[in-house]
Amino acid sequence: MTLDHCLILSAVLFAIGLLGAFTRRNAVVVLFSIEIMLNAANLNLIAYWRFSENPAQLSGPLFTLFTIAVAAAEVAVGLALVIAVYRHFKTVDLEKLDTLSEE
Amino acid sequence: MNQETAFWILSVVAVLGALVAVRQRNLVHGVFALLLFFAALAGLFLLLMAEFIAAAQVLVYIGAVGILLLFAIMLTERVTGEGKRIFSRGWLGGALASFAVLGALLLPPLRATVLPAHAQPVDPSVRALGEQLMNPYVVTLEVLALLLTAALIGAVATAQGTAKRKGAAK
């Protein structure tokens, strides 16, 4: 397990998340694809910290902690938006949600 | 050697979980695959000596985000998605774009840079993390607390907004 392996894994996971966000129609699936991308970024932060010159500085885990908290806030707001949109349009299909106005 | 094996198993589980989550037709099965992905990532964090992050990953992602996603799915669409296209019209372009991003991420850095191969010994105590959180990062922590509060209030207001207005109209 070297830094290269972690970075390659992280890149692959990020690409999978991007694939989901680009290709799926359901808004909830797009949201959790974004979560996959955020997690891949977290793995990157932790891996760079682990293999850094001075791991006692702990900036990697701290940044990851902040990312996790922000991601949790993001998913809460995102799901609330999805539910509000569903109330209004009776669908969460992103191809049918092409307007911001009432009609 | 053991670490190596664990890393490979966990990374295969993570990649498979993410792939199934992204491509699964049944949304509930997709969320369970996503939970598997989160668990594998927590294991990877443990392997990389970030114990507290692994615990936070389990608590926040598997505990909170997974349940929240399940609730959102149950509150919105029919979960199975039978007989419908699950991929959007421009899926081919999206897939090509994500593969392009993967290539852009992988190719140039791996050829050019020399990465440190060996990890320094590290003390995985939570105590140091807490002290750092209190000493240089205390403002960040407070801003984060504010952000979480604002996000929660905003989420409740957004999800309730239309219902309240409907009640007022009556």
Classify residue B155: in a domain, yes or no: yes
Min mean pLDDT across A87-91, B56-60, B162-166 is at B162-166
Kindly give, in sequence order, each residue whose CB lies less than 8 Å from that of residue B128, ignoring residues fewer than 6 positions away. Answer: A56, A58
B78 touches B48 (CB < 8 A): no
Q: Does any domain span residue B109? A: no
Least CB–CB distance from A73: residue in B98, B99, B151: B151
Question: What confidence tier does B79 reach under pLDDT thresholds 50, 70, 90?
Answer: low
CB atoms near residue A4 (< 10 Å):
15
Q: Is B56 on the interface with A (CB under 8 A)?
A: yes
Q: What φ, ψ does residue A24 adopt, rounded to 5°?
A: -90, 160
Residues of A in contact with B47 (CB under 8 A): 1
User: What does the domain layout of chain A look like in residue ranges?
Assistant: 3-89
DSSP B74-91: HHSS-SS-TTS--B-TTH
3-class DSSP assignment, residue A91: coil
B137 secondary structure, DSSP code = S
For A72, other C-beta atoms within 10 Å of its C-beta total 22
* Maximum CA extent, chain B: 68
Placement of tokens 């020399």 in the chain: B114
Q: Are residues B69 and B130 in the same domain?
A: no
Task: For residues A28 and A24, give the distance between their C-alpha atoms in angstroms, rounded to a whole number.
Answer: 9
> Which of the listed CATH numbers 3.40.1160.10, 1.10.10.10, 1.10.287.3510, 1.10.3720.10 matches domain A3-89?
1.10.287.3510
| Helix boundaries (H) for B26-90 | 27-47, 51-57, 66-75
Bridge partners for A93 per DSSP:
A26
> Which range of residues forms the domain containing residue B47?
1-81
**Angle in degrees, CA A14, B145, A13, rounded to 5:** 5
In DSSP terms, which residues pair with A26 in a beta bridge?
A: A93
pLDDT of residue B2: 84
pLDDT at B57 over 80: yes
Average pLDDT value for chain B? 83
pTM of the model: 0.87
Q: What angle do CA B118, A17, A34 make, to 5 degrees?
A: 105
- Whether residue B146 lies inside any domain: the answer is yes
Q: List Cα–Cα distances, B67 to A63, A76, B18, B74, B92, in angstroms.
A: 24, 11, 17, 11, 31
Tell me which residue in A36, A54, A66 faces B18 most closely, judged by beta carbons: A36
Are B6 and B69 within one domain?
Answer: yes
Confidence of residue B15 (pLDDT cuts 50, 70, 90): very high
- Please choose, from the candidates B111, B168, B146, the residue with its C-alpha nearest in 3D space to the C-alpha of residue A70: B146
| Contact at CB, A95 and B89, closer than 8 angstroms | yes
ipTM of the complex: 0.90
Question: Which residue, among B2, B105, B137, B141, would best test binding to A if mutated, counting the most A CBs under 10 Å from its CB?
Answer: B105
The predicted-structure confidence for A45-102, as pLDDT tens digits, reads as follows 998 888 888 777 888 889 999 999 999 999 999 988 888 888 877 777 777 777 766 6
Window 141-160 of B, Cβ < 8 Å to A: 144, 147-148, 151-152, 154-156, 158-159
CATH number of the domain residue B61 falls in: 1.20.120.1200
What is the rounded distance in angstroms from the CA atom of residue B103 to the CA atom of residue A70?
Answer: 28
- Say which residue the tokens 């993390």 belong to: B129
- pLDDT digit string, tens, across residues A4-20: 888 889 999 999 999 99
Report the number of distinct structural domains present in chain B. 2
pLDDT band (50, 70, 90) for residue B170: very low
- Asked if B88 and A94 come within 8 Å (Cβ–Cβ), the reply is yes
pLDDT at position B110 is 66
